Structure 1
Amino acid sequence: MDYSKHQFIPYGRQSIDEKDIQAVVDVLKSDYLTTGPAVDNFEKKIADYVGTKYAVAFSNGTAALHGACFAAGIGEGDEVITTPMTFAASANCILYQGGKAVFADIDPETYNINPDEIRKKITAKTKAIIPVDFTGQPVNLDEVMDIAKEHNLLVIEDAAHAIGATYKDSKVGSIADMTMFSFHPVKHITTGEGGIITTNNKDLYDKLQQFRTHGITRDTSLLNENHGPWYYEMQFLGYNYRMTDIQAALGSSQLDKLDGFVERRRNIIDQYNIGFSNLNEVITPYQHSDGNSSWHLYVIQVKKDLLSINRKQFFEELKKANIGVNVHYIPVHLQPYYQELGYKKGDYPVSEELYEQIISLPLFPTMTDDDVRYVINTVKCLVQEHQIK
Structure 2
Amino acid sequence: MNIPLSEPDITEPEIEEVVSVLRSSRLSLGPKMEEFEASVSGYVGIPFGIAVSSGTAGLHLCIRALGIGLGDEVIVPSFTFIAAANAIRYEGATPVFVDIDPQSLNLDPARVEEAITARTRAIIVVHTFGVPAEMDALLDIAERHHLRVIEDACEAIGAEYGKHRVGTFGDAAVFAFYPNKQITTGEGGMIVTRDHHLATEIRAMRNQGRHHSDAWHQHSILGWNYRMSEINCALGCAQMRRIDHILSSRENVARTYADALNDVEGVEPPPLHLSGRHISWFVYVIRLAPHFGREERDTIARKLIDQGIGCGRYFAPIHMQPAYDNLPVAHSLPVTEAVSSRTLALPFFNRLDKERILHIVKTFKEIINSLKI
Shorter-normalised TM range: over 0.9
* 2:106 is aligned with 1:79: no
Code of the aligned partner of 1:313: T
3-state SS, counterpart of residue 310 of structure 1: helix
3-state SS, counterpart of residue 291 of structure 2: helix
Contact 2:154 2:176 in 1 (8 A): yes
Aligned equivalent of 2:320: 334
Q: 1:315 aligns with which of 301, 315, 318?
A: 301
Q: Deviations over 1:126-149 (max 9, x none)?
A: 111001111110101111111111
Counterparts of 1:56-71 in structure 2, within 5 Å, are 56-71=50-65
3-state SS, counterpart of residue 57 of structure 1: strand
- Cα pair distance change 1:351/1:27, threshold 3 Å: same
Aligned equivalent of 2:358: 373
3-state SS, counterpart of residue 325 of structure 2: helix
Q: Deviations over 1:186-239 (max 9, x none)?
A: 00111110001111111111111111011112427xxxxxxxxx4663222111
Larger Rg computed on CA atoms:
1
Q: 2:250 aligns with which of 265, 269, 272?
A: 265
Aligned equivalent of 1:274: 259
* 2:83 is aligned with 1:93: no
Q: Deviations over 1:139-192 (max 9, x none)?
A: 011111111111111111111110011111111122222111000000011111
The 10-residue stretch of structure 1 (286-295 or 82-91) with the greater mean CA deviation from structure 2:
286-295
Aligned equivalent of 1:299: 285
Q: 1:141 aligns with which of 118, 135, 152?
A: 135
CA distance in 2, matches of 1:40, 1:131: 27
* 2:10 is aligned with 1:24: no
3-state SS, counterpart of residue 184 of structure 2: coil
* 2:199 is aligned with 1:214: no
Contact 1:218 1:231 in 2 (8 A): no
Give the CA deviation at 1:11: 1.2
Aligned equivalent of 1:226: none
Give the CA deviation at 1:306: 6.2
Contact 1:218 1:233 in 2 (8 A): no
- Cα pair distance change 1:246/1:119, threshold 3 Å: same
Aligned equivalent of 1:45: 39
Give the CA deviation at 1:290: 5.9
Q: Deviations over 1:331-378 (max 9, x none)?
A: 00111121122349x931211111111100111001111111111222
Contact 2:161 2:276 in 1 (8 A): no
CA distance in 1, matches of 2:284, 2:216: 51
Code of the aligned partner of 1:144: L
Instruction: Please list every run of 5 or more consecutive structure 2 residues that lacks an aligned counterpart in the other structure.
Output: none
Would you identify which runs of 4 or more consecutive aligned residues in structure 1 move more than 4 Å? none
CA distance in 2, matches of 1:386, 1:335: 28
Equivalent pairs: percent with the same residue?
37
Contact 1:217 1:232 in 2 (8 A): no
The 10-residue stretch of structure 1 (40-49 or 334-343) with the greater mean CA deviation from structure 2:
334-343
> How many residue pairs are counted as aligned between the two chains?
371
Aligned equivalent of 2:224: 239
Aligned equivalent of 2:368: 383
Code of the aligned partner of 1:170: H
Aligned equivalent of 1:248: 233
